[in-house]
Structure 1
Amino acid sequence: MLNRFVTGLLALLLLCTLPAFAQPSPSQTGDSITLPLPADGATLEQLNDQLDLIRQKVSVSANADLLSDLRQAALLVQKQADTLISQQAVDIEHLDGQLNILGPEQPGEPQSIGSQRKALTAQKNALVDDQRQTNTLSQSARDLATQIFSLRRSLFDSQITTRSASPLSVVFWSTMIRPTDDDLGRLRGLFDDIHSAANTALAPGKRTFFISILVSALLIWVVGRRLMEHLLVWLMIRWLPEGRLRRSALALAVGLSTVLTIGAATSLLRWGIDRNAALSADVLSLLNQMQTLIIFCAFIVGLGRALLMRSHPSWRLPQIPDQIATAIGHFPVLLALALVIIGTQERINSVIASSLALTVAVNGLTALAVSLVFFFTLLRYRRTRRRYGLERLPSFAGLIPFVVAVWVGLSLLALLIGYLTLAYFLTVKLLWMSVVAATAYLLIACFGDICETLLSPKQPGGMALGAALGLSARHQAQASTLLAGIGRTLLLFTAILLAFMPSGSSPGELLEGFTQLDFGNQPLGGLNIVPSDILLALAVLIVGMMGIRIMKEWLGERLLPETTMDAGMRASLVTLVGYIGVVLLGIVVMSTLHVSLTNLTWVVSALSVGIGFGLQAIVQNFISGLILLTERPVKVGDWVSLAGVEGDIRRINVRATEIQMSDRSTVIVPNSQFITQNVRNVTMGNALGVVGITLTLPLDTDVLQIRELLLQAFREHQAILDAPAPSVSFKDLTTSGLIISASGYVNSPRSVGGARSDLLFTVLGRLRELGIALSSPQSMVLVSEGTEKARAEE
């Protein structure tokens, strides 16, 4: 019942506000200012006239919407001028070709050829002159667009630092309840246009058609959405196999059905109004912008339904508990309603070019409404978690509520102290970034599931594709992982760009103005580092470090395990990629700070002195670490022996290498020792280990019986490899006995000790069963000559 009530209320609000749908008007007065756009293929004179008209409209008193339209018009003139320059260059090249065919003037040539040469030369000179003028026009249009941008930025700078009446004061509300006489006059003029358009649409002879269009739009909105959603869900269930692809496709289908049906309903209604009503320029602009607003609000609702999936929890993509999804399920709808209601008034103010006080007050009301929606949603989220004892969301998702809470708190604080424009910017940016983040999550999940289902050799679709193209399973898995990683990276990069790009006509410029709030822009020393550059460099550094970490995790856990590289090579490659990423990130940060190499001369000089005195060993170890990672004389996983230290290499860092010994202790060895000292790498050339046993037996022992006993013991041991086969050799024949040696191979030198111990137990036990004893060592007694004579006399 609540869903039906909200849907009906949204439809009722749409019907009530359709006549007043607003588009920001490029007008500072109540009269509409329209700029005729130059048609494709406009001449140089037409473009000059258009640029002169734009210059006439630019003024300090122009509002932000007018400046935005004028800047777009200037950029359009520049684009068409560049196109005209390209066409002129082609024409000049064609004339040059014709002149080359005619050649230079020759004595006695026909008069017709000379006349033709003169005519072509005159045409070429005229085109060259036109091209020069067109280049000047293009540069003028570019400069004008830059000036308009600077003017808009100055306007936003002045607005964002201006303190107005707080929502806690009476002045704030009286500004909206009791607008000025000038604002009331403009409102009456707009409502008169709306009333005239409504009378035209409902005139006899047109009334039936317009009402039928209205009913059809409502049916598409209410009934068509359900039918389309059910159809798409049925198709996804029938065509797609069970798994993540079906879930992501179902979420995408639910979101698209909401956006497409509402978009189709508003487009149909807009077409009906255009066909039946006589619209003024202001009303036409209102309809265009409000249609965009409705579709944007529908997009928010569709995203919420696609990600929360309250009616089908098993289809939900994010790991959101059912209790939380139910608690915040109405958040997208409430947010869309707030935007529709207050956004309509914003656009009406823009169209009538209302006073600055009324515009700022309505912007503050928008910030207040949206911030409160976010605030109460966070409050319900926290209460639900406490009530059901739920854990925080895993990974970065657990930080989202905290970041949003801080952001909303800053917005509300700015509202309470009277910085309404700053609060409006923070709120709009929060809304825009939330929509971009949710959309990016949905698309990234869907793209990854598509690659996994259609390309992975573990899935039926991937197996069929591999069989059709003749791809091996290993190469197909690598291609699937690589394609999924590239696609997700591009989507994530695009989402980051969109999140920080202007969301509408003002947030981008407001962000630039916010970085210059009374901080000063004086260079720091000779490095020309300004505070805004420091903030940007800090943001680049944080995002870059996160990107390097994600790249290393993706390489080490997803892509490289699909290859034939051993674990040591994979670890070395991941470490090397991390070092390269850090170096490139450092270059980007320095370029962001406008730091050149010449400005770092004193730093390099200080480092050279430091290296000469105390940092020489550190630099030596650093260079040695790079050599270890590139030449790979040792790698992660190798068993090495170095200066009395023997164990497995666990990690190769920039300065030192970690070696884990047999007792599980770790020894930190400087990298330079691996380059300057002798290192025994047990597992480099051959990963097999040799288990050897040497026995000394009495001279009367049956050596053939001992040979069979030893071979049988080696063959029965599960760690001894069949190839190379174990062997028994007769080492020597001495006075102390027979020396018999046996050897076998195990899969790793680390298994030699345990296997040798087991074989000794087995061999000694079987020798004891056969009654064969090992040869005892003989003792030698030395008797002096004098002692021997004394004993003889006795």
Structure 2
Amino acid sequence: MPILRRVLSWALVALMCLAFQASAQDNGPDYAAWERLASEVEADLELGQASDLRLENLRSQVAIWRDNFLEASEANAARIETLQSQLDALGPVPEEGQEEASEITQRRKELTDRLAFLSAPVKQADEAYRRANGVIGEIDDIIRARQADALLELGPSPLNPAHWGQAWEDLRSSLSKSWAELERRWASDLLRNKAKTQLPAIILLAALGFVLLTRGRGWARSLARGADKFGRNRRAVWRFLISLGQILLPMAGIYALTQAVLVSGLAGPRWSLFLESLPVWAAVLLGIHWLAEWAFNDDDSIAVMPLAPEERVKARWFSDVLAALYVARGLLEVLIQYDRFSAETLAVIEYPLLLLSGLYLFRLGRVRNDAAMVGSKAAKEGDAGLFRLRFARLLGRAAMVLGVVGPVLAAIGYLRVGSATVYPAIASLAVIGAILVLQSFINDLYALITRQPDDQNENEGLLPVLAGFILTIASLPILALIWGAREADLTELWTRFREGFQIGETRFSPSDFLVVVVVFVLGYMLTRLLQGALRSSVLPRTKIDQGGQTAIVSGIGYIGIFVAAIVAITMGGLDLSSLAIVAGALSVGIGFGLQNIVSNFVSGIILLIERPISEGDWIEVNGVHGTVRDISVRSTRIETFDRYDMIVPNADLVSGTVSNYTRGNVLGRIIVPVGVAYGTDTRRVEKILMNIARDHDMVLMNPAPYVVFRGFGADSLDFEVRMILRDVNKGLSVRTEINHQIAERFTEEGIEIPFAQRDVWLRNPEALTGEANKDEGAPE
């Protein structure tokens, strides 16, 4: 097929480029040969009569030279940088009227001459690179303009009946020539005798091909059914691998049959081209059928497209018909290669295939657009299933639009536009289906390797998501070729990627990015290893408290990541001094828009260094009590006693008032108030309360507990028991236990704990008496 040929030719050009660069790196560019080629190309461009094929060939040659010049322009970069730094060390050139030591002047001249000598090849290569880049740009502009003109050229309408007769005659003549070629070669005694000498090989290849073609798919299905006894993940992986046999075995059979015919020597040029393309067409038919079975499978655990069960049969049928129409167009292209049909004939014989392709593309898009989630796999996959459903509907709408627009444009006379609309849409749907099926297989394989339970969602891992992203990126060049991009366009993108970009006087290439990423990852890993060693082995053996250990580990983490970033950027070739302007602009933005974030960040550093609070401390902030659980550079997480998290900006902790009840130790005082009735022996009450406090295990004897006789209350004699506890975090339970013991001892000693009593004084009781008498004398 054309796409496969374009991919192969692109790969061949890339290999030629690599070989040329490998041979040219030893001796440097041959500028005389380049001058001859550049002059020839520029002359062709001025005339404007070169064919597209010649322009493409010239472009590929110039692109090889350009890559060679790019390599040469980066030669001696390290030595040039060293010489420049040596010159900078000597200081600026003295102004007129000023003198410097003769040794420095002589050394400056030597370094300048050496720098000019090493810079000359670099400048020459850079000039040649820019010239080659300009030539390539001119060639690309010419070819794109020609392609646009050819695509938008208005041709004859296939609906004009005046063209039908001639088109039918041309098609019949082409088929007759093909049949006549076969008859002519069969009538040749020489060719028949040659075929007889190859008869054993022909029979073997034909028998092998017939068996594989007729029995291969059945064998693959039988092996796949044997996986039903396995668990879900293992069964899915096994079925996928075995199902590939439904493509490979019949393809091998068709290839064997075509080789049997080619070995016989009876196939002429027409039939040889047909037979060479036959395995490719078989791959298209079998591959799309296989993709349709996986994408629209009746089993929800296998299907990757969320369709209603009754719609999946239709989707599989439409996919098979589109594959057959796609192959039929390939067959027509083979005939066109030998028979130069007129524009009218091409329009008439291609339009029926295009119309049917657009019709079935529309119907397939309508099926996807009407996709329902009821009982489908998407309903069980949450957000992933919903995204897949929306994506399927988007594809359906696009297929419906393209299926209508393409045939309509072709009917008007824009046959190339119609063909460039419908057939790439069919191929794109196949590529997207392959991506979805492969991603589903990677999900199952990941679940099998990680031994996930069969009922667990396979989309929970990060690796399957990354695999899907990589598959999508890898498919972009294929989709670009499908939609008409030239191989040169892709190679140009790759060249631009290898060339990198320039910041100031520094050029960054993909290798620089790779160095930055690798160095940063290594620095990050070393930082994490150092943090782990400190946390588990070093710090626990010191006398530093837990909060201090956490602060040290966090600080080393921030410093390590910062140093790793600086080292990675420096090794990548970025001069940090060139970022001064950017840093100045950022400082203005920080001063106006990020001042709260910076304030919290600085406050977090202060908290980690001064450690007024630490993880595990009981603190009070804005009237809320809680335990510090985590201190980050921006905020602190406090878990309240009601078991919810409160996020406090670090600036509030530094600038506000914070009560820390357990800073340095967990000792703390609690106060238990109690009242007794008037008339009770206060000395006796004091003695009882003191004994209760001293007998509790959590109460310290130094400082000793103390009983305070606070005074005479409105309803009772008020006392307080003040105690220092070993662990103030247990103050609530100690308070409860002390209250229980006080109630029990007071009951044993006959001491009354009073409750509030009030006397009610009536200002005019006679009025209430009169009202009562009236009520008694009232008639019933």
| Deviation of 1:177 (Å) | 6.5
Structure 1 counterpart SS, 2:687? coil
Aligned to 2:769: none
Going from structure 1 to structure 2, the CA distance change for 1:283 and 1:668 (only over 3 Å counts) comes to same
Going from structure 1 to structure 2, the CA distance change for 1:641 and 1:243 (only over 3 Å counts) comes to farther
Structure 1 counterpart SS, 2:672? strand
Going from structure 1 to structure 2, the CA distance change for 1:672 and 1:607 (only over 3 Å counts) comes to same
Going from structure 1 to structure 2, the CA distance change for 1:280 and 1:414 (only over 3 Å counts) comes to same
State whether structure 2 residue 607 is matched by structure 1 residue 619.
no
Structure 2 counterpart SS, 1:328? helix
Deviations 1:686-718 (A, max 9, x none): 9x999974325631216555566x66xxxxxxx
Separation in structure 2 between the aligned mates of residue 741 and residue 376 of structure 1, nearest angstrom: 85
Structure 1 counterpart SS, 2:332? helix
Query: Do the aligned partners of 2:626 and 2:641 also contact (CA within 8 Å) in 1?
Result: yes
Aligned to 1:369: 356
Separation in structure 2 between the aligned mates of residue 353 and residue 25 of structure 1, nearest angstrom: 21
| Deviation of 1:344 (Å) | 1.8
Which 5+ residue runs of structure 1 have no aligned equivalent?
Answer: 1-20, 27-34, 86-134, 461-479, 514-563, 581-597, 712-725, 747-751, 778-794
Query: Do the aligned partners of 1:232 and 1:253 also contact (CA within 8 Å) in 2?
Result: yes
Query: Do the aligned partners of 1:621 and 1:671 also contact (CA within 8 Å) in 2?
Result: no
Deviations 1:488-547 (A, max 9, x none): 52552342242354565762249989xxxxxxxxxxxxxxxxxxxxxxxxxxxxxxxxxx
Which 5+ residue runs of structure 2 have no aligned equivalent?
Answer: 7-12, 25-29, 73-125, 491-534, 537-549, 563-577, 675-684, 711-718, 755-780
Aligned to 2:233: 244
Residue 699 of structure 1: which of 680, 686, 703 is its match? 686
Separation in structure 1 between the aligned mates of residue 627 and residue 689 of structure 2, nearest angstrom: 42
Separation in structure 1 between the aligned mates of residue 55 and residue 333 of structure 2, nearest angstrom: 17
State whether structure 2 residue 706 is matched by structure 1 residue 732.
yes
Query: Do the aligned partners of 1:694 and 1:739 also contact (CA within 8 Å) in 2?
Result: yes
Separation in structure 2 between the aligned mates of residue 654 and residue 358 of structure 1, nearest angstrom: 75
State whether structure 2 residue 208 is matched by structure 1 residue 230.
no
Going from structure 1 to structure 2, the CA distance change for 1:25 and 1:742 (only over 3 Å counts) comes to closer
State whether structure 2 residue 335 is matched by structure 1 residue 335.
no
Aligned to 2:397: 406
| Deviation of 1:276 (Å) | 1.0
More displaced, 139-148 or 292-301?
139-148
Separation in structure 2 between the aligned mates of residue 638 and residue 408 of structure 1, nearest angstrom: 63
| Deviation of 1:154 (Å) | 2.6
Separation in structure 1 between the aligned mates of residue 277 and residue 617 of structure 2, nearest angstrom: 66
Separation in structure 1 between the aligned mates of residue 429 and residue 155 of structure 2, nearest angstrom: 28
CA RMSD, 1 decimal: 6.7
More displaced, 270-279 or 697-706?
697-706
| Deviation of 1:397 (Å) | 0.5
Separation in structure 1 between the aligned mates of residue 145 and residue 293 of structure 2, nearest angstrom: 40
Structure 2 counterpart SS, 1:507? coil
Residue 492 of structure 1: which of 451, 469, 485 is its match? 469
Residue 300 of structure 1: which of 288, 291, 299 is its match? 288
Query: Do the aligned partners of 2:725 and 2:731 also contact (CA within 8 Å) in 1?
Result: no
- Whose Rg is larger? 2
Separation in structure 1 between the aligned mates of residue 48 and residue 348 of structure 2, nearest angstrom: 22
Figure out how many residues of one structure are paired with residues of the other and give that number.
Answer: 565
State whether structure 2 residue 261 is matched by structure 1 residue 273.
yes
Query: Do the aligned partners of 2:690 and 2:706 also contact (CA within 8 Å) in 1?
Result: no
Deviations 1:696-745 (A, max 9, x none): 5631216555566x66xxxxxxxxxxxxxx66664324445573537586
Query: Do the aligned partners of 1:259 and 1:302 also contact (CA within 8 Å) in 2?
Result: yes
Alignment of 1:48-197 (within 5 A): 70=57, 150-163=141-154, 170-171=159-160, 178-179=166-167, 192-193=180-181, 196=184
Aligned to 2:436: 441
| Deviation of 1:764 (Å) | 3.4
Aligned to 2:297: 309
Structure 2 counterpart SS, 1:267? helix
Q: Which amino acid aligns with 1:305?
A: E
Q: Which amino acid aligns with 2:470?
A: F
More displaced, 194-203 or 412-421?
194-203
Residue 257 of structure 1: which of 228, 232, 245 is its match? 245
Alignment of 1:460-609 (within 5 A): 485=462, 488-489=465-466, 492-502=469-479, 504=481, 507-509=484-486
Separation in structure 2 between the aligned mates of residue 342 and residue 625 of structure 1, nearest angstrom: 67
Q: TM-score, normalised by structure 1?
A: 0.52
Query: Do the aligned partners of 1:407 and 1:426 also contact (CA within 8 Å) in 2?
Result: no
Q: Which has the higher contact order (CA 8 A, sep 6+)?
A: 1
Going from structure 1 to structure 2, the CA distance change for 1:211 and 1:745 (only over 3 Å counts) comes to farther
Separation in structure 2 between the aligned mates of residue 635 and residue 432 of structure 1, nearest angstrom: 62
More displaced, 264-273 or 337-346?
337-346
Q: Which amino acid aligns with 2:327?
A: V
Deviations 1:395-424 (A, max 9, x none): 310212321133124324533245544443
Going from structure 1 to structure 2, the CA distance change for 1:230 and 1:606 (only over 3 Å counts) comes to same
Separation in structure 2 between the aligned mates of residue 165 and residue 648 of structure 1, nearest angstrom: 83
Query: Do the aligned partners of 1:297 and 1:340 also contact (CA within 8 Å) in 2?
Result: yes
Separation in structure 1 between the aligned mates of residue 425 and residue 615 of structure 2, nearest angstrom: 45
Separation in structure 1 between the aligned mates of residue 634 and residue 689 of structure 2, nearest angstrom: 59
Aligned to 1:594: none
Alignment of 1:750-765 (within 5 A): 764-765=739-740
Separation in structure 2 between the aligned mates of residue 606 and residue 138 of structure 1, nearest angstrom: 35
Query: Do the aligned partners of 1:436 and 1:495 also contact (CA within 8 Å) in 2?
Result: no
Q: What percent of counterpart residues are identical? A: 13
Going from structure 1 to structure 2, the CA distance change for 1:287 and 1:693 (only over 3 Å counts) comes to farther
Deviations 1:228-274 (A, max 9, x none): 3423553x567xx52324313413431x1122113212221221122
Q: Which amino acid aligns with 1:732?
A: Y
| Deviation of 1:160 (Å) | 3.5
Query: Do the aligned partners of 2:600 and 2:635 also contact (CA within 8 Å) in 1?
Result: yes
Query: Do the aligned partners of 1:23 and 1:289 also contact (CA within 8 Å) in 2?
Result: no
Q: Which amino acid aligns with 1:303?
A: L
Structure 2 counterpart SS, 1:170? coil
Deviations 1:63-84 (A, max 9, x none): 87x57985798599879999xx
